């Protein structure tokens, strides 16, 4: 049993990670500021369920230094899983300074406190977006990446670099996890799969940017959680791990699979590619498999069926008339 501080624990991935930790007997403190990047009521609903299961909830900001002193120095947790961040490539183009403040400066504030207690394991949520305009696929942790093409991607790479610096100077055991397009129950409403399912079930058009040939390594949330927990348990030294499904699906194929899962033919509106978007994300997960025993197993069809089932029964679509299967 470990005492774990989980930042962003009321969010999509965080709430699933928290459930997994509680289920195995860890004591978890969730820190979340319930910001309005998307409807805070969704995160409050997640948090309520976590508290019922035994989590301790602190409402606060990762930039609040007095609070970080209490949670990281006085409480002295065994580990920190740092998921809290401003998310999203496209929104980061509109407010890069805010992304820098939350994603980089706040991470530094945490590392400054962890150097006083360098036995605390630190798991940092990074992103496949750090690979930027990388033309080699699949993406490997050893790739030379120096071309981030969005402020969000730059902040996540900066976070990894700061983590390395503090590991080098103070021996903080650190794992940086590059998540590849995570989806599943409770997915954020602005993300593509959630938006596409909602639009399809409500008979609204889906906006498809580009010709549908861009490819993503869509990763089901249960597989990501498995990787996060294993990275926590194997956290030693400084390591970067890709966590993806290690299979790519084109945008056009994904829309087709959404239609299949919904039992409804999607209506598609085509638009031009957006700035900051990459042509492909594709994870080489051999390092995570070898070092962590990571074993992603959910193909896109299975994962979408589970998401649509959640959407219709517990999610926003629970009040929709039932169509299809």
- Quote the pLDDT of residue 275: 79
- Quote the pLDDT of residue 324: 44
In whole angstroms, what is the distance from residue 307 CA to residue 197 CA?
9
- DSSP class of residue 129 equals G
Q: Which residues are catalytic?
A: 152
- Quote the pLDDT of residue 147: 87
Structural domain boundaries in the chain: 3-180+220-243, 183-216+247-282+297-319
Q: Quick one: which of 123, 135, 238, 242 has its CA closest to 182?
A: 242
- Quote the pLDDT of residue 325: 41
One fold for 3-180+220-243 and 183-216+247-282+297-319: no
Q: Quick one: which of 199, 233, 202, 214 has its CA closest to 271?
A: 214
- Count the Cβ atoms, other than its own, within 10 Å of residue 319: 6
Of the candidate CATH numbers 3.90.25.10, 3.30.1640.10, 3.30.2290.10, 3.40.309.10, the domain formed by 183-216+247-282+297-319 belongs to 3.90.25.10
- Quote the pLDDT of residue 320: 66
In whole angstroms, what is the distance from residue 176 CA to residue 242 CA?
9
- Quote the pLDDT of residue 318: 83
Per residue of the chain (325 residues), what is the pLDDT tens digit? 899 999 999 999 999 999 999 999 999 999 999 999 999 999 999 999 999 999 999 999 999 999 999 999 999 999 999 999 999 998 999 999 999 999 999 999 999 999 999 899 999 999 999 999 888 999 999 999 988 999 999 999 999 999 999 999 999 999 999 999 999 999 999 999 999 999 999 999 999 999 999 999 999 999 999 999 999 999 999 999 999 999 999 999 999 999 999 999 999 999 998 877 788 999 999 999 999 999 999 999 999 999 999 999 999 888 766 554 4
At the fourth CATH level, which superfamily is domain 3-180+220-243?
Answer: NAD(P)-binding Rossmann-like Domain (3.40.50.720)
- Quote the pLDDT of residue 133: 81
Is-contact 60 67, C-beta < 8 A? Answer: yes
- Quote the pLDDT of residue 321: 62
- Quote the pLDDT of residue 135: 81
- Quote the pLDDT of residue 134: 84
């Amino acid at each position: 049993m470990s005492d774990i501080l989980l930042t962003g624990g009321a969010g999509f991935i965080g709430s699933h990670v928290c459930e997994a930790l509680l289920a195995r007997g860890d004591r978890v403190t969730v820190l979340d500021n319930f910001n309005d990047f998307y409807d805070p009521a969704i995160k409050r609903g997640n948090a309520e369920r976590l508290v019922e299961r035994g989590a301790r909830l602190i409402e606060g900001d990762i930039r609040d230094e007095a609070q970080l002193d209490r949670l990281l120095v006085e409480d002295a947790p065994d580990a920190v899983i740092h998921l809290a961040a401003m998310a999203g490539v496209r929104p980061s183009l509109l407010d890069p300074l805010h992304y820098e403040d939350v994603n980089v400066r706040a991470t530094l504030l945490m590392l400054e406190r962890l150097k006083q207690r360098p036995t605390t394991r630190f798991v940092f949520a990074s992103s496949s977006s750090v690979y930027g305009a990388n033309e080699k696929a699949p993406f490997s942790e050893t790739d030379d990446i120096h071309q981030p093409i969005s402020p969000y991607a730059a902040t996540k790479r900066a976070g990894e670099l700061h983590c390395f610096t503090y590991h080098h100077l103070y021996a903080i055991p650190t794992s940086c996890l590059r998540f590849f397009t995570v989806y599943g129950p409770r997915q954020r409403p602005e993300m593509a799969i959630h938006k596409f399912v909602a639009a399809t079930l409500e008979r609204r058009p889906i906006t498809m940017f580009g010709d549908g040939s861009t490819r993503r390594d869509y990763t089901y949330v249960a597989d990501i959680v498995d990787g996060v927990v294993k990275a926590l348990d194997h956290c030693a030294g400084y390591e970067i791990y890709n966590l993806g499904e290690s299979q790519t699906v084109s945008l056009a194929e994904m829309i087709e699979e959404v239609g299949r899962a919904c039992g409804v033919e999607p209506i598609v509106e085509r638009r031009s590619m957006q700035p900051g978007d990459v042509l492909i994300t594709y994870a080489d997960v051999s390092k995570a498999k070898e070092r962590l025993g990571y074993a992603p197993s959910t193909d896109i069809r299975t994962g979408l069926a589970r998401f649509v089932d959640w959407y219709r029964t517990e999610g926003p679509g629970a009040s929709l008339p039932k169509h299809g299967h």
